[in-house]
Structure 1
Amino acid sequence: MNHPHRLLLIALTAWVPTATANETVTITLDPNAKPLATFVPADTFGAGIDGHEAGVTRRLLRGANLARMKDVGFGPFSYRLRTELAVESWHWNPAGHFSGADGKSGYWLSDTTPGRPIDISYGYRLPRRGTSGDQANNDGYSRLDDGDAASFWKSNPYLDQHFTHEDNARHPQWVVVDLKEPLPIDAVRIQWGQPHARAWRMEYCTNLHADYVENRICNAWAAFPQGEIADGQGGTETRRLAAEPVKARFVRLLLLQHAADAAPATSDIRDSIGYAIRELGIGTIDEKGVFQDRITHAKDARRQTAMFVSSTDPWHTAKDRDPDTEQPGLDAFYGSGLSDTGAPLIPVPLLYDTPENAGAMIAYLKRQGHPVLQIEMGEEPDGQYATPEDYGALYLQVATVLHQIDPKLQLGGPGFQTAIDGYRSWPINDEKRPWMTRFMDYLRSRGREGDFNFFTFEWYPFDDCCGEASLQLAMHPRILGSVLEGLRADGLPRTLPWMITEYGYSAFGCRAEVDIEGALLNAETVGLALQEGAARVYLYGLEPAEIMDELNCNSWGNNALFLADEQMSIRSTTATYHGARLINQDWVGPPDAPHQLLPVAIAGGTVFGLPRVSAFALRLPDDTWSLLVLNKDPTNAYDLAVDFLAPKGPTPAPGAVALTQFSRGQYQWHPAGEQGGPVVNQGPVARTAPALPVTIPAYSLTVVRLGALAH
Structure 2
Amino acid sequence: MRPIHIESLVARTALSLASFLSLAACTVATAQTVQVDATPSHVVNKFSPRYALGSTVDRVPSNATDVFFRPDQIAQIQQAGWGVISYRQNTDLFVQAWHWNPNGRWSDASGQGYFVGDATPTQEMIRHSYGYSLPHRGFTRNNGTEFDGFSRLDDGDPKTYWKSNPYLAKRFTGEDDSLHPQWIVINLEKSENINAIRVAWAEPYATVYRVQYWAGASDAMDEQDKGVWKNFASGRIANGTGGTATIRLDESFVNTKYVRILMTRSSNTCDTHGSADPRNCVGYAIRELYLGALAADGTFSDLLHHTPDQKQTLTYCSSVDSWHAPSDRYVAPDRMESGDQPGWDLFFTSGITRGLPAIIPIAMLYSTPEDAAAQMAYIKKRGYPVSYIEMGEEPDGQYMLPEDYAALYLQFADALHGVDPGFKLGGPVFEGVTEDIKVWPDAQGRNSWLGRFLDYLKAHDRLQDLAFMSFEHYPYDGCETPWKDLYQEPELITHIMKVWRDDGLPPGIPLLDTETNDHGGEAADDIFGALWLADSFGGFLSAGGKSTHYYHDLPYSPPHPACENSWGTYHMFMVDEHYQIKQRTSQF
TM-score (norm 2): 0.91
**Cα contact 2:439–2:447 (8 A) shared by 1:** no
Secondary structure of the corresponding residue to residue 35 of structure 2:
strand
Which of 552, 557, 561 lines up with 2:568 in the alignment? 557
SS in 2 for 1:345: strand
Task: Report the counterpart of residue 433 of structure 2 in structure 1.
Answer: 419
Match of 2:300 in 1: 291
Alignment partner of 1:446 out of 451, 460, 464: 460
> 13, 27, 30: which one pairs with 2:34?
27
Amino acid at match of 2:201: W
Distance 1:337 1:29 in 2: 38
Task: Decide whether aligned partners of structure 1 residues 137 and 329 sit closer, same or farther in structure 2, where only a CA change above 3 A counts.
Answer: farther
Q: Deviations over 1:444-466 (max 9, x none)?
A: 11111110010000001012132
Give the letter for the 2:515 counterpart.
E
Question: Distance between the aligned counterparts of 1:38 and 1:437, measured in 2?
Answer: 28
- Counterparts of 1:27-176 in structure 2, within 5 Å, are 27-32=34-39, 34-103=42-111, 105-115=112-122, 116-134=124-142, 135-136=144-145, 138-176=147-185
Shift of 1:204: 1.2
1:338 and 2:372 equivalent? no
Separation in 1, partners of 2:414, 2:115 = 19
Residue 431 to residue 305, structure 1, CA distance change in 2 (3 Å): farther
Q: 2:522 aligns with which of 510, 513, 523?
A: 510
Using the alignment, how far apart are the partners of 2:146 and 2:260 within structure 1?
Answer: 26
How far 1:136 moved relative to its partner? 4.6
- The one-character-per-residue Cα deviations of 1:151-191 (angstroms, maximum 9, x if unpaired) are 00000000011001111111000011111111111111100
SS in 2 for 1:90: strand
CA offsets, 1:296-319, max 9 Å, x none? 111112x01111111000000010
Write the letter of the residue equivalent to 2:219. Answer: D
The aligned counterpart of 1:234 is: 242
Question: How far does residue 550 in structure 1 lie from its aligned partner after superposition?
Answer: 2.6
Work out the CA distance in 2 between the residues paired with 1:309 and 1:534: 34
Q: Does 2:477 align with 1:463?
A: yes
Alpha-carbon contact 1:501-1:537 (below 8 Å) kept: yes
CA distance in 1: counterparts of 2:125 and 2:146, whole angstroms: 27
172-181 or 472-481, which deviates more = 472-481
Cα offset, 1:289, TM superposition: 2.0
Q: How does 1:174-185 map to 2 (within 5 A)?
A: 174-185=183-194
> Partner letter of residue 132 of structure 2?
Y
Q: 1:155 to 1:181 in 2, by over 3 A?
A: same
Paired position in structure 1 for 2:9: none
Shift of 1:339: 1.5
Q: How far apart are the structure 2 equivalents of 1:168 and 1:216?
A: 22
Amino acid across the alignment from 2:421: P
2:586 pairs with 1:575: yes
Aligned in 2, Cα 1:43/1:554: closer, same or farther, shift over 3 Å?
A: closer
Mapped partners of 1:419, 1:450: distance in 2:
26
- The residue type paired with residue 553 of structure 2 is L
Contact 2:114 2:324 in 1 (8 A): yes
Question: What residue is the counterpart of 1:535 in the other structure?
Answer: 546
Quote the residue 2:376 is aligned against: 362
- What is the CA-CA distance between 1:554 and the residue it aligns to? 2.6
> Within 5 Å, which residues of 2 pair with 1:219-258?
219-258=227-266
On the 8 A contact 1:130/1:142 being kept in 2, the answer is: yes
* Identity fraction in percent: 39
Moved more, 458-467 or 442-451: 458-467
Inter-CA distance 245–176: structure 2 relative to 1 (3 Å threshold):
same
Select the residue among 291, 294, 300 that pairs with 1:282.
Answer: 291
Q: Which residue of 1 aligns with 2:492?
A: 479
Of 292, 298, 309 in structure 2, the residue corresponding to residue 300 of structure 1 is 309
Distance 2:555 2:389 in 1: 26
Normalised by the size of structure 1, how large is the TM-score? 0.75
Residue segments in structure 1 that go unaligned for 5+ positions in a row: 1-21, 578-711
Secondary structure of the 1:29 match is: coil
Q: Counterparts of 1:218 and 1:326 in 2: how far apart (Å)?
A: 39
Deviation at 1:467, TM superposition (A): 3.7
Match for residue 11 of structure 2? Answer: none
**Secondary structure, in 3 states, of the residue corresponding to 2:231?**
strand
Residue 7 of structure 2: aligned partner: none
Question: 2-side partners of 1:200 and 1:218: how far apart?
Answer: 23
Counterparts of 2:344 and 2:105, CA distance in 1: 18
CA distances 1:465-510 after superposition (whole Å, capped 9, x unpaired) = 3242x1211222222232222222222223210110011111x331
C-alpha contact (below 8 Å) 2:557/2:570 kept by paired residues: no
2:271 to 246, 254, 263: 263
Contact 1:153 1:312 survives alignment (8 Å) = yes
Report the residue type matching 2:326 in the other structure: A
Report the secondary structure of 2:389's partner residue.
strand
1:572 and 1:137 mapped to 2: Cα distance?
A: 31
Match of 2:365 among 351, 355, 358: 351
Residues 91 and 98 (structure 1 numbering): CA distance in 2 closer, same or farther, change over 3 Å? Answer: same
Distance 1:549 1:460 in 2: 14
Distance 1:293 1:25, change over 3 A: farther
Question: What are the ranges of 5 or more consecutive residues in structure 2 without an aligned counterpart?
Answer: 1-28, 332-337
Q: Which is further off, 479-488 or 518-527? A: 479-488
Q: How much has 1:396 moved relative to structure 2?
A: 0.3
- Equivalent residues in 2 for 1:580-659, closer than 5 Å: none
Q: Which amino acid aligns with 1:124?
A: Y
- Matched-pair contact (CA < 8 Å) for 2:513–2:548: yes
The C-alpha deviation readout for 1:419-441, integer Å capped at 9, x for no partner, is 32473223355643311111111
Which residue does 1:652 correspond to in 2? Answer: none
- Residues 1:500 and 2:520 are matched in the alignment: no
Q: Which has the larger radius of gyration?
A: 1
Work out whether residues 502 and 538 of structure 1, in 8 Å CA contact, stay in contact via their aligned partners in 2.
Answer: yes
**Is the CA contact (8 Å cut-off) linking 1:373 and 1:408 kept in structure 2?**
no
Q: Which moved more, 1:416-425 or 1:539-548?
A: 416-425
**2:475 is paired with a residue of what secondary structure?**
coil
SS of corresponding position for 2:425: strand
Residues in 2 aligned to 1:459 and 1:43: alpha-carbon distance in whole angstroms: 18
CA separation of 1:360 and 1:219: change in aligned 2, threshold 3 A: farther
The farther-off stretch of 514-523 and 257-266 is 257-266
* Counterparts of 2:127 and 2:550, CA distance in 1: 23
Residue type at the aligned position of 2:258: F
The match for 1:662 is none
Aligned to 2:339: 325
What value does the CA root-mean-square deviation take over the aligned residues? Answer: 1.7
Partner of 2:335: none
CA contact (8 A) 2:98 2:367 kept: yes
Amino acid at match of 1:153: W
Pick closer, same or farther for the CA change 1:218–1:90 going to 2, 3 Å.
farther
Deviation at 1:207, TM superposition (A): 1.6
Quick one: distance in 2 between partners of 1:142 and 1:51?
A: 23
Measure, in 2, the Cα distance between the counterparts of 1:466 and 1:101. Answer: 53
